[in-house]
Chain A
Amino acid sequence: ILNVEQSPQSLHVQEGDSTNFTCSFPSSNFYALHWYRWETAKSPEALFVMTLNGDEKKKGRISATLNTKEGYSYLYIKGSQPEDSATYLCASRMSGSEKLVFGKGMKLTVNP
């Protein structure tokens, strides 16, 4: 059974704070790790797809790192803004399948 865990489940921060959250996944037969941003009343949007151990990706103030040997990924948001408020989902893909197994998500609220 492939379990993807995210922590914390929710986070309230003030505008300007930096945040980071964790996604853990089974490391055996790993193929790719996806991060999605999901705003209320919208659909999930892809942030990053990461495949290599040690990979680091960045989009604006958001960045992510990947450790495939120990099975975790970190997502960082530098200088959080109210528009960053959303649920952040990670999903793991095993080799030999296109199936994504999603974590339950981390709901971020950034207060102005």
Chain B
Amino acid sequence: DAGVIQSPRHEVTEMGQEVTLRCKPISGHNSLFWYRQTMMRGLELLIYFNNNVPIDDSGMPEDRFSAKMPNASFSTLKIQPSEPRDSAVYFCASSRDSSKSQPQHFGDGTRLSIL
């Protein structure tokens, strides 16, 4: 079975540019999570969706960050304009059933560097 697929694996861009991170969850999973991992703060939840609907976006840092899930098999996290402090590893995860205690399955992450 294919796991959670994220693209790109690495992104290096200059500050001010728009950055789009992509995620394909595991087929049949109805919850999708975006995390940011930094040395200082560890793994932090940015936003999560259930059945394509955003449920909790309280972790989104500011208006420069936005996330969408247009269908069950695709989600994007966009940063516009990007800043050097956005440099981090961004993970996407999915899980099967929100009503039960299911583990989350993580993608390989996108390592983002903003110069």
Task: Give A contacts to B, CB under 8 Å.
Answer: 31-32, 34, 36, 42-46, 49, 51, 89, 93, 97-105
**Most chain B beta carbons < 10 A, residue from A45, A89, A102:** A102
**Are A46 and B103 touching (Cβ within 8 A)?**
yes
Question: B42 contacts A105, CB within 8 Å?
Answer: yes
Question: What is the predominant secondary structure among interface residues of chain B facing chain A?
Answer: strand
State the CA gap A49–B103 with chains docked (Å).
6
For the complex, what is the distance from the CA of A51 to the CA of B99, rounded to whole Å? 13
Cβ of B77 to closest chain A Cβ, rounded Å: 16
A98 adjacent to B106 (CB under 8 Å): no
23 sample A-B contacts, Cβ–Cβ < 8 Å, listed by A number:
A32-B101, A34-B103, A34-B104, A36-B103, A42-B108, A43-B106, A45-B106, A46-B105, A49-B103, A51-B101, A89-B43, A98-B55, A98-B95, A99-B45, A99-B48, A99-B56, A100-B33, A100-B104, A102-B44, A103-B42, A104-B42, A105-B42, A105-B43
* A45 to B55 alpha-carbon distance, docked (Å): 24
- Point out the residue from A31, A43, A93, A101 that lies within 8 Å of B91, measured CB to CB: A43
Number of interface residues of B (CB under 8 A): 23
Give the 6 A-B residue pairs with the shortest CB-CB distance, closest first.
A46-B103, A43-B106, A32-B101, A102-B43, A104-B42, A49-B101
Which residue in chain B gives the minimum CB-CB distance to A32? B101
Q: Is the CB of A98 within 8 A of B105?
A: no
Give B36-90 interface residues, CB cut-off 8 Å to A. 42-45, 48, 50, 55-56
Given contacts A49-B103, A103-B42, A104-B42, contact A98 B98 (CB under 8 A): yes
Identify the closest chain A residue to B58 (Cβ).
A99
Task: Write out the residue numbers on chain B whose beta carbons fall within 8 Å of the beta carbon of A51.
Answer: 101
The answer for the CA separation of A105 and B43 in the assembled complex, in Å, is 9
Is B109 interfacial (CB 8 A cutoff)? yes
* Docked pose: A51 CA to B108 CA in angstroms: 27
Interface contacts beyond A43-B91, A105-B42: sample of 12 additional A-B pairs, CB < 8 Å, sorted by A: A34-B103, A43-B106, A46-B104, A98-B31, A98-B50, A98-B56, A99-B45, A99-B56, A100-B33, A101-B45, A102-B43, A102-B44
